[in-house]
Every structure is written in structure tokens, then in C-alpha cells.
């Protein structure tokens, strides 16, 4: 099956609004991914695959049939740039058959249902292989397809909790584990893990090999993220966690400090030469020989804090950032979107709907984080956003070999939308 491109990205817009042109086809050009997830780690995975050039078809539920799906805001997941959309009633035999028609020409199916749901729908790995032996099924769940927690519901904070991340991070004012400022489990433990697993499976499948079923556990991904500490404990029996070593707050050389204007700097002067440079520029030369002396860390922090409090944050950055001190500003989101480094690398791009439909309340144009990861084409290039409610169903099913009459009958039955 050759999946047609999303209709709103068909041609450049002549009025100066974003055209959606890509910087290149991408290394995954020609790979077709069917995405049954609306939000969360699986949606992060397919966002990455799309930005590497894969054709991603988002498959939602037919409105009015079953539970109403989560509809993320227009700006989420990069505004659905470059994605195709359709809706099937997978509990209806005809809707399921229509989905399987797409599976015949696809490379990957990504889903995030609870374990067992795909089998109950008649869409388990065996069912998919029956129509396409080369299919890769990527099942992304909180705790994996088996084990005592497999049926548990959860979100990012739950996976960070069981994977050791929260207990390894600086406690809050009440002494309890903090709430993370980013969805680390969803994005890295889940989404990036799933995307890497899919790419590895594609390479392993080669030109003529069979597909596979990938069991992506987000909690397992967080365990891997904290594996340096876990492996240390397993190998040595040492207590690990916040304040136990240089990267978890034990020493003053790896910490954050407030400047005179109330803003903050981050210090990561791990190497002795960087630490010595920092001490000299802060006027704290007396501490150069005591970087790892536990008895004086409070005193070093006090002197560092007093020094940083004498100047505004950006004055310190001007002085320290180019002097091999490993000091950087703590940027808010409102600041980083104008940051000169990200600007120079084309990280923030313009996006808009061109002549295509747009969601209710969405502006005609906005800005977003572009395809910034290594090897993703299109960095700095304007993008065409898409209304996730707009349907490409007819074009997708026609490309899968269904006739106009067959497609019309599916619509009439409410099996597709």
C-alpha cells in the first residue's frame, strides 16, 4: 500500500504562511506506521518516527461509538504536523477488516491499550501477522505485557516512582519526593525507548525477514535511566540516591545557585580544572583543594551562594560561560524560546494550517519545537499543522485497494469516519 500524503501538506502556500516543506525525506522514508494511540508515550514514539520521515497514520475511534477518546490540544505533539488521520470502529467486524486492509501495506502498528485488549479485539500479533507476516507490533504500556503490575493504571509520576528516579532526586521542602517538571518517563523511558525499539526491529527485519512484537514497558525504561545508580548498588551494596555522589548533590561543585536578580545558575564543575576555574572567578580560591572534602561542603556552598548573590544571572553567565567553568543559566520556557543557541540551530519553527482546516480556537499560525533530534530533516523549516479531527479515511482506504462503493458502505454503517 502506498499511503497518500496528508492533504493539507500537498503544496506550498503562496501567501507567506508555512508550507510544511521538509528539509529532506528522512531515513525512514517509505516506512508506514499505524498509530492507535492518541496521547502519551506511544504518541511520542510515532511523533519521532514521523520526524525521521516515516508516514504515520493516526487511527482514532469513530465519534459516538464507545468511550470518547482523549483529544489533545491543537499544539500538542507538534500540532499533528505531517500526520494522516482516520477513524475506525475496531469492535465492528467491518471496521476491523478495514483496519486490517491498512495493516497489509504497513510496516509498524503502535498501540497503548492495556495488555490483552488487542487480542480481545481480534487484532493481536497473530491476527496482524495473518495478513502481514512482516508487521512489527509495538505495544507500549506502563509496566509491560506481564508481571504483577501489568494491569495497573499509571502516569509519568508512577513510573518515575517505581523506577527509582523520584527517590534519587532532591526532596521537596517537606522531605518528600518531588514532582518532575517534565514527563521524563513518557518521553524518554517510553517514547524514545519505543522509537528505538521500532527502528532496531526494522533493521533486524531487513528486506525479507519476519516482523516481531515489541513489549515496551515505560517502567523498564525508567529503570534503565537510573541504571547507573542501580548498578552501583548491585555491585557494591552502597547506599545510592540524592546526596550520595557528585551528580546527585553531594558536593557544592554540582548544584544550583541564585543570582542577585532572583534568577538561577546551574553549576556542573565536576572536573578539577573546571572547579578550580570556577573558584578563582568567584573569589573562592581557598576552596580549590577541597572539592571532595565532605567536612566543608556546607561552607563551600555558603561562599558560592554569597558570591553568586553579588551579580545578576546574565552577568555571571557572561563572565563564566566561556571560561571553562561548566556554568549555565537556568532558563524558563519563556526564555529558552528566544535563546541564541536554540535559535542558531533552528530549533523553534513556525507552523500554520495553510489552506487546510484547523481546530476550533486554534490560531492560523503559531510556533513550536521543530524536528531537533540528530538526523531529523527539516530543522528550521516552517511546518504545516493539521486538524486531528480532519479525516483522510477515503484516500487511505482507496490506497489500500477498497472501491468507492465499499468505502461508502463502511461510512454508512458507521464502521469508519
* pLDDT tens digits, one per residue of 156-168: 999 999 999 999 9
The pLDDT of residue 65: 82
Q: Provide the pairing of β-strand 212-217 with 254-258.
A: unpaired
Distance CA 322, CA 254 (A): 18
CA–chain centroid gap for 81, Å, is 15
DSSP state, 415? S
Strand order in the sheet with 254-258: 254-258, 264-268, 327-329
The pLDDT of residue 2: 54
Asked if residues 8 and 353 have their Cβ atoms less than 8 Å apart, the reply is yes
- Return all residues near 38 (Cβ < 8 A) that are at least 6 apart: 58, 60, 69, 70, 71, 72
The pLDDT of residue 352: 95
Asked if residues 304 and 284 have their Cβ atoms less than 8 Å apart, the reply is yes
Indicate yes or no: pTM above 0.85: yes
The SS3 of residue 159 is helix
Distance CA 241, CA 169 (A): 7
What is the dihedral angle through the alpha carbons of 275, 281, 284, 289, rounded to the nearest 10 degrees? 30
The pLDDT of residue 10: 30
Cell 566561556 appears where? 322
Q: Percent of the chain beyond pLDDT 70?
A: 94
Q: Which residue ranges of the chain lie beneath pLDDT 50?
A: 5-24
What is the dihedral angle through the alpha carbons of 284, 289, 295, 301, rounded to the nearest 10 degrees? 30
Name the residues annotated as catalytic: 155, 186
Asked if residues 144 and 112 have their Cβ atoms less than 8 Å apart, the reply is no
Asked if residues 128 and 111 have their Cβ atoms less than 8 Å apart, the reply is no
Where in 205-316 does DSSP place strands (E)? 212-217, 254-258, 264-268
Distance CA 400, CA 394 (A): 10
Q: Provide the pairing of β-strand 212-217 with 136-141.
A: parallel
CA–chain centroid gap for 123, Å, is 26
Closest CA to 8 of 355, 358, 417: 355
C-alpha cell at 302: 555558603
Which DSSP string corresponds to 140-151?
EESS-SSSTTTT
- CA torsion through residues 120, 125, 126, 127, sign: positive
* Phi, psi angle pair for 40, to nearest 5°: 85, -165
List the domains of the chain with CATH numbers. Answer: 7-225+346-413 (3.40.50.10540), 246-258+264-329 (3.30.1540.10)
- Return all residues near 281 (Cβ < 8 A) that are at least 6 apart: 319, 320, 323, 325
Q: Percent of the chain beyond pLDDT 90?
A: 87
Q: What does the angle CA 9 – CA 15 – CA 17 come to, to the nearest 5 degrees?
A: 50
Amino acid at each position: 500500500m502506498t499511503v497518500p500524503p496528508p492533504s493539507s501538506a500537498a503544496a506550498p502556500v503562496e501567501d507567506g504562511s508555512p508550507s510544511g516543506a521538509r528539509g529532506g525525506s528522512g531515513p525512514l522514508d517509505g516506512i508506514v506506521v499505524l498509530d492507535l494511540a492518541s496521547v502519551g508515550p506511544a504518541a511520542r514514539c510515532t511523533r519521532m518516527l514521523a520526524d525521521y520521515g516515516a508516514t504515520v497514520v493516526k487511527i482514532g475511534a469513530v465519534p459516538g461509538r464507545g468511550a470518547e477518546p482523549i483529544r489533545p490540544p491543537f499544539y500538542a505533539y507538534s500540532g499533528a504536523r505531517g500526520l494522516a488521520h482516520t477513524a475506525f470502529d475496531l469492535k465492528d467486524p467491518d471496521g476491523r477488516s478495514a483496519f486490517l486492509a491498512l495493516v497489509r501495506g504497513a510496516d509498524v502498528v503502535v498501540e497503548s491499550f492495556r495488555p490483552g485488549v488487542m487480542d480481545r479485539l481480534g487484532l493481536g500479533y497473530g491476527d496482524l501477522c495473518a495478513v502481514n507476516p512482516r508487521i512489527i507490533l509495538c505495544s507500549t504500556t506502563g509496566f509491560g505485557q506481564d508481571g504483577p503490575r501489568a494491569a495497573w493504571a499509571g502516569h509519568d509520576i508512577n513510573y518515575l516512582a517505581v523506577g527509582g528516579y523520584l527517590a534519587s532526586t532532591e526532596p521537596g521542602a517537606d522531605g518528600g519526593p518531588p514532582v518532575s517538571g517534565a514527563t521524563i518517563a513518557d518521553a524518554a523511558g517510553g517514547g524514545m525507548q519505543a522509537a528505538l525499539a521500532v527502528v532496531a526491529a526494522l533493521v533486524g527485519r531487513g528486506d525479507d525477514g519476519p516482523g516481531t512484537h515489541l513489549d515496551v514497558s515505560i517502567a523498564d525504561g525508567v529503570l534503565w535511566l537510573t541504571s547507573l545508580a542501580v548498578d552501583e548498588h548491585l555491585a557494591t551494596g552502597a547506599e545510592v540516591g540524592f546526596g550520595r555522589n557528585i551528580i546527585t548533590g553531594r558536593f557544592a561543585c554540582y548544584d544550583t545557585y541564585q543570582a542577585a536578580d532572583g534568577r538561577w545558575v546551574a553549576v556542573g564543575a565536576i572536573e578539577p580544572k573546571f572547579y578550580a576555574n570556577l573558584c578563582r572567578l568567584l573569589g573562592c580560591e581557598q576552596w580549590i583543594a577541597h572539592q571532595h572534602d565532605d567536612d566543608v561542603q556546607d561552607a563551600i556552598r555558603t561562599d558560592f551562594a554569597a558570591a553568586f548573590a553579588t551579580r545578576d544571572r546574565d552577568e555571571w553567565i557572561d563572565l563564566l560561560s566561556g571560561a571553562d567553568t561548566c556554568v549555565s543559566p537556568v532558563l524558563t520556557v519563556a526564555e529558552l524560546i528566544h535563546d541564541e543557541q536554540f535559535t542558531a540551530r533552528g530549533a523553534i519553527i513556525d507552523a500554520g494550517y495553510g489552506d487546510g482546516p484547523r481546530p476550533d480556537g486554534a490560531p492560523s499560525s503559531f510556533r513550536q519545537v521543530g524536528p531537533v533530534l540528530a538526523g531529523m530533516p527539516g530543522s528550521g523549516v516552517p511546518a504545516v499543522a493539521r486538524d486531528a479531527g480532519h479525516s483522510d479515511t477515503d484516500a487511505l482506504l482507496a490506497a489500500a485497494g477498497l472501491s468507492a462503493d465499499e468505502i461508502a458502505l463502511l461510512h454508512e454503517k458507521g464502521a469508519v469516519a
